[in-house]
Amino acid sequence: MENVLNNALPMTRPTRRASLAELAPALIVVVLLVIGTITSDRFMQTNNILNILQYAAEPSLIAVGMMFVILARGIDLSVGSVMGVGNVTAALLLAAGYPVIVAILAAVAFGAVIGLVNGLLITKGRMEPIIATLATMIGVRSIIYFMTDGAPLFQGIPREFVQIVRGSVTGLPNGVLFLVISFLLAYVLLNHTRYGRHVYAVGGSEETSELFGIKVTRIKISVYVLSGVMAAIAGVVGASRLGIGDPNSGIGYELVAITMVVVGGVRLAGGVGTVMGALSGVLIVSILTNILQLNNVSTHAQHIFLGGAMVGMMLFLSWRDAKKA
Amino acid sequence: MQTTYPQSTFSGLLSEYRSEATLILFLAVAFIFGPLFTEYFLTPDNLFNLSRQGSYLTIVSIGMALVLIVGGIDLSIGAVMQLVGLFTVLLLGAGASAEIAFLFALAMGAVLGAINGVLTVYGRMQPFIATLATGGIMTGIVMTYTQGNAVAPRGIDPAFREIGGGAVAGLPIPAAIMIVVVLLFWWTMTNTTYGKNVYALGSNKHAARNIGLNTELLECSVYMLSGMLAALAGYLTFARMGTFQPATAATGGTPVEMVIMAIAAVVLGGGSLAGGKGTMIGAFLGATVSAVMLNYLVLLGMGIWFQRFILALIIIVVVLLARKNERA
Amino acid sequence: MEGSIVLDSHVIETNALEIHGVSKSFGQNNVLQDLNLTLRKGEVHALMGENGAGKSTLIKIISGVHKADQGEINLNGSKVDFHSPYEAQIGGVATLFQEIQEIPDLSVAENLYAGMEPRKHGFLIDWKKLYSNAQRQIDELGLRIDATQKMRSLSPSSRKMVEIIRAVHKRGASVVIMDEPTANLNQGEIDALFSMIEELKQKGVSIIYISHRMREIFQIANRVSVLRDGRLIRTSNIENISEDEIVKLMVGRDLPALYPQRTPPENEVAMKVDNLTVDGELDSVSFEVRKREILGIAGLEGSGATSVIKALFGLRPVSGGTIEVDGETLVIKNPKRSIAQGLAYVPEDRKEDGLFLNKTVNFNLVANVLKSHFARMGFVVRKRAAQTTSRDVVKRLGIKTTGGMAKIGSLSGGNQQKALVGRWLIGSYKAILLEEPTRGVDIGAKVDIYEEINALARSGLPVVMYSSELLELIGMCDRVVVIRNGRVSGILSGDELTEENILEKAITS
């Protein structure tokens, strides 16, 4: 049925034109900047802008990992708990007197292991990503509470560790630097390496990827490991920013990270989405959060808006897809 | 050629209902050997508590089973319990009777569930993302209103606490309600056109459409029922307390944990995330076994977080085993 | 006999592929039986046969999708046993299946070079080189495809061409299998494909070529093998065989014995389709169906023929036209509405669109009439009555099953198909719509299903039936509507109803 009229069509080079959906995230960023400026005098001040970026660091690190997972047609609901584990692992080791680098590496390694478990359960164990990562989400959170007895760690965290995020090497706060670096790396990986292109390929069609000789299982495991690593780093960043280890760190972040990625136009069914889009998603969510804060909306209420933003974006996307089809 | 009707040999039944049979066996073992490890297990007090504790989970598991049968998922049920619970307690605080509050809770659950259904079916969102988002919004509303604190209005209808804590014919009222719910849905799913159509939808959506079923409406209705059942469970949970208590990690469990327990219960009972499979009796047995295991861990002095950890392990093991069976 | 075991090394040199005594069955259905085939080095070997003759199964065994029950395959003189198309590709056998293998959201160049993208600085993809290499490859064939475009944005024919280029050039295949490669191509692309094939022949690559288009076979093939009912009937040099002979070999059985005695239709028109239009698929299709008439719909892949019945049943967005049944104009909106107005529908893909595979035979037979026939108070199912009725249907159609409670997925394809047709025997309808009513079933089941279709027509109903098997249409139908490029290109009846005439009307000139 496909080519009834095709034969008649001349095969000219289609003009390149960014579609509405590709532009939508950037447009929303602009609209939010305008709204922010109108609703609050403080919004456009340098301090506030830096604030937005700094607070964006933790969820956006997670969002970068989540983006890889979603591009490969998966989902990782355990990121919030992994962030918590990264957070308390680093804090506990620091409090016990280990060097900063050891604490960080241990935290990241913990995240990688959990990611590996997710990847293995999903590929070798053929579990649905939702179930596997929901289970690790709960399991890992309970590990956090074993480790800490549920109490925050206030003491024993050295200044040098705190300086990692709060300090400034470039003139910008380091937290902002993390955000920039992680997105740059993601950009290079996804657009300029075989690995990144194969992540897209696997998300597009596992069967065809297999035929093309792409190691599908390996790619799928790797994105969960990456996601685990990024979430653990986010936990370390959180510990550094606040100077405490918090067993509740990361709760609800899976929703925030998925919202960022999805609002940025990354397709949940895999294979489609750009780093620029995801960055826009991060900015949209962060700016929206900031505007809400400036207008004295409580943290919990912010979740209502975020959920609303996600539903809105998803509905927009499915409406557009339906129109195209 | 030879055709024989109906095939109802014992071995045939056993293979058809393998999950259910395994769970019954497990329960038998638990009740026989349980007392060896903790004497308190078989005491009337504990069984009374256990049946009440298990009833909340069973009720939401029935809803989850319905959603899983049609190939969907509902990650919002814990949040529905919370939001409905909060509004119910507020309504009671404003002087409403327990009965009015009960009807209100069901209606509110139906509306919340219908929203999930509409987003999934007509908005064409993936069910997990739609329900994750609505669940997030609902939890946000609860936390914004309560700031994480209990809501305990004075002078609410004493019947409310009676429903949550009282007994009828030796059974806790929530357990009695749970039994009614299980029987009602068991009968509906096996003996009515609605039940058959839901199974048809879950087995093959295209085929269901091609034999003339209104698949959209049917799918929506399932989410609505899931919402109603979650609301019922929420009502009963807070009726037991007489107050509203927001679920946070600090108070021993976020709303997501009810979701994962319900999924575990349904999968234990033979359901599948791939859709088309699962029975009401299976969900009931799965939830009961989960409740017994949790009860056990409590009696053995395990902390709440150890319980959670075991829960996560059980889910993984159960799903992996189920996968293995499918392959075989 | 050809393909007997060869020990002489000289002979091994000339045979690219040898298939020895390969058999394969799915359940009770013997799809291939003791099949032998030899592919010479540098030849184009056409594989001909009706649908269900075993061609697809054979190429799936060669390319590692299926495993043969018996027999062995030698590639360039050594025994091979591939477990996946990828393994086969590495081993030197590239296969082009009917469905396009692609990653739609990646560029043409990436689809061509996936897994072997050129790199610079060790790990960065050299995009410039990737695009220019890909573009050069495309340009050399005279195709107008932009290597930087996403696959998704190309026409189906361009996508197919990209796939062909990839499969043929990528791994240095020594055997290339093409399953209906030209189904979606226009003439310019077919020419490009044929010059590619010519080039491959020069290089000593051997090609197995499957197509229903006789012209093509005589244009490019060196030899032709005809398969029927899973057996090799004959292999011949193309010079020594005629089109007629091939068709005769393909059919090879008495038509009258297979198809039921038809009663002539009445003159009264029962169903009237006027200017049926579906954007991009169908353009002003009109025809009438009389009482007791079986009307066939024919057309090549991509002609729109498969959309006719779907559009009638409300599965395609109809943008224009009217459909009348018994003088009443139907509202075409969705299947529910269509069924309520008296249409019954058998979809072409029973697994995807028809059956509830993990449910019982009984469930499948009565699921569509539960509410109308077996409900007390409109919602309580009368289980006993439903069981009795479905037992009757099982008996009437001779469905082989261990019982009504057996899962329908465990039945053979033929019995599943009978059940799919059988569910419309309960209840009364005004018109019957059938798509590929005997797809992938054995001869015995075919005869039973034909008999049932005939009985439905005899009871006074108009039947519209789409089939890709021309002989089935000729054997069953009073008239056949041929669709080409979304339009009716001819309506054939009586003596005009021959394969040649249908094909002539169907082939795009």
d(CA C325, CA A181): 67
**Contact call for C306 and A192, based on CB within 8 A:** no
The CATH classification number of C9-252 equals 3.40.50.300
pLDDT of res. A82: 97
Query: Is A118 domain-assigned?
Result: yes
Closest CA to C229 of C378, C399, C32: C32
Q: Which distant-in-sequence residues (6+ apart) come within 8 Å of A216 by Cβ?
A: A202, A206, A209, A210
Task: Note the pLDDT of residue B249.
Answer: 59
Question: Using CB atoms, which residue from B193, B207, B208 is nearest to C371?
Answer: B193
| Residue B8 pLDDT level (bands cut at 50, 70, 90) | very low
Q: How far is CA C63 from CA B95, B178, C91, C178, C285, in A?
A: 74, 56, 10, 11, 40
Under the phi-then-psi rule, with left for phi > 0, alpha for psi from -120 to 50, and beta for the rest, what region is A296?
A: left
Compute the distance between CA of residue A64 and CA of residue A282 in angstroms, rounded to an integer: 9
What is the DSSP secondary structure assignment for residue A193, as one 8-state letter? B
Interface list for chain B against chain C, based on CB atoms closer than 8 Å: 1, 3-8, 12, 191-194, 196-197, 199-200, 203-204, 206-214, 276-277
Q: Is residue B243 part of a domain?
A: yes
Is residue C454 within 8 Å of C260, Cβ to Cβ?
yes
| Inter-chain CB proximity A4 and C89 less than 8 Å | no
pLDDT of residue A15: 41
The pLDDT, as a whole number, for residue C469 is 81
pLDDT of B250:
55
**Residue B286 reports pLDDT greater than 60:** yes
B261 — pLDDT class (breaks 50, 70, 90): confident
Q: Which chain B residues touch A258 with a CB distance below 8 Å?
A: 129, 132
The rounded distance, in Å, linking the Cα atoms of B15 and C406 is 12
Phi-psi region of C399 (alpha: psi -120 to 50; beta: other; left: phi over 0): beta
For B200-217, what is each residue's pLDDT tens digit?
999 999 999 999 999 999
- Outline which parts of chain C fall under CATH 3.40.50.300: 9-252, 256-342+429-506
Separation in Å, CA of B5 to nearest CA in chain A: 37
Has residue A190 been placed in a domain?
A: yes
Gyration radius (Cα) of chain C, Å? 25
Residue A14 has what pLDDT? 41
Q: Give me the residue from B7, B12, B199 closest to C359, CB to CB.
A: B199
Establish if A120 belongs to a structural domain.
yes
Q: Is the pLDDT at A17 greater than 70, yes or no?
A: no
Q: Indicate whether A162 belongs to any domain.
A: yes
Mutation target for A interface from B116, B124, B145: give the one with most A CBs within 10 A: B124
A285 domain-assigned: yes
In C27-174, the DSSP E strands lie at 29-40, 44-48, 70-75, 78-80, 93-96, 119-120, 124-125
Low-confidence residues of chain C: pLDDT under 70: 1-14, 27-29, 51-52, 170-171, 184, 252-257, 508-509
Residues of C in contact with B5 (CB under 8 A): 387, 391, 403-405
Percent of chain A with pLDDT over 70: 92
Averaged over B78-93, what is the pLDDT? 96
Tell me the count of A-C CB pairs closer than 8 A: 106
- Total structural domains within chain B: 1
The β-bridge partners of C431 are C343
Highest mean pLDDT (candidates A4-8, A174-178, A206-210, C247-251): A206-210
* Touching chains, C (3+ CB pairs < 8 A): A, B
A113-138 mean pLDDT: 93
Of A26, A263, A59, nearest to A175 by C-alpha is: A59
Put simply, whether C85 touches A (Cβ < 8 Å) is yes
Give which of A208, C183, C94, C129 is closest to C137, Cα–Cα.
C129
Q: Which residues in chain A are closer than 8 Å to B130, comparing Cβ atoms?
A: 311, 314
Q: Is residue B22 part of a domain?
A: no
8-state DSSP, A153? B
Residue A267's domain comprises 45-307
User: Between A and B, how many CB-CB pairs are < 8 A?
Assistant: 133
Average pLDDT over residues A201-217: 92
The residues in C 209-238 lying below 8 A from A, measured between CB atoms, are none
In a domain, B293, yes or no: yes
* Contacts with A84 from chain B: Cβ below 8 Å: none
Give residue C27's pLDDT. Answer: 67
Contact state of B210 with C347 under an 8 Å Cβ cutoff: yes
Give me the pLDDT at residue B327, please: 56
Q: Mean pLDDT of all residues in chain A?
A: 87
Subunits next to B (3 or more Cβ pairs <8 Å) are A, C
In Å, what is the CA distance from C389 to each residue of C145, C345, C365, C366, C456?
A: 58, 20, 9, 8, 18
What's the mean pLDDT in A2-18? 39
Report yes or no on B269 lying in a domain. yes
3-state DSSP assignment of residue C107 = strand
Q: Give the angle subtended at the CA of B170 by the CAs of B166 and B174, to the nearest 5°.
A: 45
CATH number of the structural domain spanning residue B132: 1.10.3470
Q: Mark yes or no for CB contact C114/A214 under 8 Å.
A: yes
For testing the chain A interface, which of C96, C106, C123 should be mutated: the one with the most A CBs within 10 Å? C106
Instruction: Identify how many contiguous H helices and E strands chain B contains and give both numbers.
Output: 14, 2
pLDDT at C17: 92
Residues of B in contact with C363 (CB under 8 A): 196, 199-200
Predicted TM-score of the model (pTM): 0.83
What pLDDT digit, counting tens, does each position of A148-194 carry? 988 898 888 888 898 888 888 887 888 888 889 999 999 999 999 99
pLDDT at B186 over 50: yes
* Residue A126 belongs to a domain: yes
Do B214 and C370 count as a contact with CB atoms less than 8 A apart? Answer: no
For residue B253, the model assigns a pLDDT of 60
Work out how many domains chain A is built from and give that number.
1
pLDDT > 70: what percent of chain B?
92
Q: For residues B254 and C469, give the distance between their C-alpha atoms in angstroms, rounded to a whole number.
A: 60
Q: What pLDDT score was predicted for residue C272?
A: 96
> In this structure, what DSSP letter does residue C360 have?
B
The predicted structure's pLDDT at residue C296: 96
Give the one of A192, A194, A204 whose C-beta lies nearest to C104's C-beta.
Answer: A204
| Closest in C336, C368, C402 to B214, CB measured | C336
From residue C188, alpha-carbon distances to A1, A7, C164, C185, C485 in Å are 20, 10, 15, 8, 17
Mean pLDDT computed over B288-310: 85
As a whole number of angstroms, the distance between CA B272 and CA B325 comes to: 12
Touching A (3+ Cβ pairs <8 A), the chains are: B, C
CATH architecture of the domain with residue range C256-342+429-506: 3-Layer(aba) Sandwich (3.40)
Check: CB of residue B227 under 8 Å from CB of residue B116: yes
What is the reported pLDDT for C244? Answer: 78
Rg, C-alpha atoms of chain A: 21
Chain A interface, mutation test: which of C105, C108, C131, most A Cβ atoms within 10 Å?
A: C105
Task: Encode pLDDT of C419-442 as tens digits.
Answer: 999 999 888 899 999 999 988 777
Least CB–CB distance from B4: residue in C387, C395, C402: C402
Q: What residue in B sits closest to C369 (Cα-Cα)? A: B211
In a domain, A317, yes or no: no
Q: Compute the distance between CA of residue C397 and CA of residue C452 in angstroms, rounded to an integer.
A: 8
Partner-chain contact A197 C110, CB within 8 Å: yes
Nearest CA in chain C to A194: C125
The percentage of chain C sitting over the pLDDT mark of 90, rounded to a whole number, equals 52
DSSP string, C411-437: S-HHHHHHHHHHTTSSS--SEEEEEST
Residues in chain C closer than 8 A to A1 (CB atoms): 281, 302, 304, 306-307
Q: Where are the alpha helices (DSSP H) in chain A?
A: 20-39, 46-71, 79-95, 100-123, 129-148, 159-166, 174-192, 194-204, 206-211, 216-242, 253-263, 275-294, 299-324
The nearest CA of chain A is from the CA of C76 a distance in Å of 22
Contact call for A127 and B313, based on CB within 8 A: no
**Does residue A136 sit within a domain?**
yes
Domain assignment present for residue B164? The answer is yes
The CATH number of whichever domain residue A303 belongs to comes to: 1.10.3470
Whether A200 sits inside 8 A of C103 (CB atoms) is yes
Mark yes or no for CB contact A213/C85 under 8 Å. Answer: no
Model pLDDT, residue B18: 77
What is the per-residue pLDDT for B264? 84
Encoded tokens for C356: 């509830």
Quick one: A34 exposed, middle or buried, by C-beta within 10 A (0-12, 13-18, 19+)?
exposed
Contact C357, C407 (CB under 8 A): yes
- Nearest CB neighbour to C405, from listed B1, B7, B210: B7
Distance CA(C458)–CA(C263), nearest Å, equals 7
Q: pLDDT tens-digit profile of B124-154?
A: 888 988 998 999 899 989 989 998 899 999 8
Residues of chain A with Cβ-Cβ distance to C101 below 8 Å are 207-208, 211
A132/B316 touch (CB, cutoff 8 Å), yes or no: yes
Domain containing residue B168? 42-327
Gap between the Cα atoms of B267 and B261, Å rounded: 10
Chain B residues with CB-CB distance to A306 below 8 A: 136, 140
Residues of A in contact with C508 (CB under 8 A): 7
